[in-house]
Amino acid sequence: MSVLDDIIAGVREDMARRQHEMPLEKVQERAAQAAPALDAYAALGGNDNPRASLRVISEVKRSSPSKGALADIADPADLARRYEQGGASVISVLTEARRFKGSLADLDAVRAAVSIPVLRKDFTVDPYQIWEARAHGADLVLLIVAALNDEDLRSFLDLTHELGMNALVEAHTAEEIQRAGAAGARIIGVNVRNLKTLDVDRSVFAALSESIPAGAVVVAESGVRDAADVAHYAAHGANAVLVGEALVKHNDPAATIAEFMETGAGAIADRLQASGR
């Protein structure tokens, strides 16, 4: 069993317990009462042409399977506010409990604290989770291509759009990028972490980013340690970077976000100039 398979098995068990406590019909009622979703595609520069700035998706992340405990985040709302003050375009909130120590309570706290789009980052394997995300105020969800067949990927993406939301569709290979594009993904992330070994290979991003369909927002996921990594991703086509560990372990995450944005914008400007745009 791969790491992904093991995580998903736990996600299904935890979801079954929540479904017993709150059936889908009640979740759908809550979703209908939630404020309309914010436009994460626009927030990530999806309507800009050319996309001349680097956007940051800042993550509320306590732990990970590869690194273990990262930070004791006693007040996720306060951290999210600092992210927003630093210029983050989207706040990502881990809600998976077993490996990442997240929760829907964290999502609720962050949604109430910020005015920018919020991503429910979890392992989405059932429509219930998408309805649940909307009921808790999320504006977009994570869809991992490796975890879904083509039919589910397309139907899940369609559901997010029906609910006024967006999805960050995560790919690890060229074949997965093709599947994401065929399903109609508008925000495509390249995760440079190997799901089998959990190793990070930043060169994967440059090798894959050019195959992402025109018009999609390109997100670099995993492996951001510092501004040099941000510049590398931006130079190879990233419109946004998703950053967790480098922010939760920093004393001044707002300043770090601002630095990443400035560095990324410079790298994008150089790339656009080199391409004659």
Which residues are identified as catalytic? 59, 61, 121, 170, 191, 221-222
**Contact of 134 with 84, CB cutoff 8 Å:** no
Closest by CA to 50, choosing from 207, 220, 203, 270, is: 270
Q: Which residues contact 180 (CB under 8 A, 6 or more apart)?
A: 145, 153, 169, 171, 188
- Residue 74: how many other CB atoms lie within 10 Å: 7
Backbone φ and ψ for 53, nearest 5 degrees, come out as: -125, 160
Closest by CA to 63, choosing from 84, 94, 91, is: 94
Which pair of tokens denotes residue 87?
């210029």
CA dihedral 250, 251, 254, 258 (to 10 degrees): -60
Helix (H, G, I), strand (E, B) or coil at 205: helix
Closest by CA to 59, choosing from 86, 85, 106, 94, is: 94
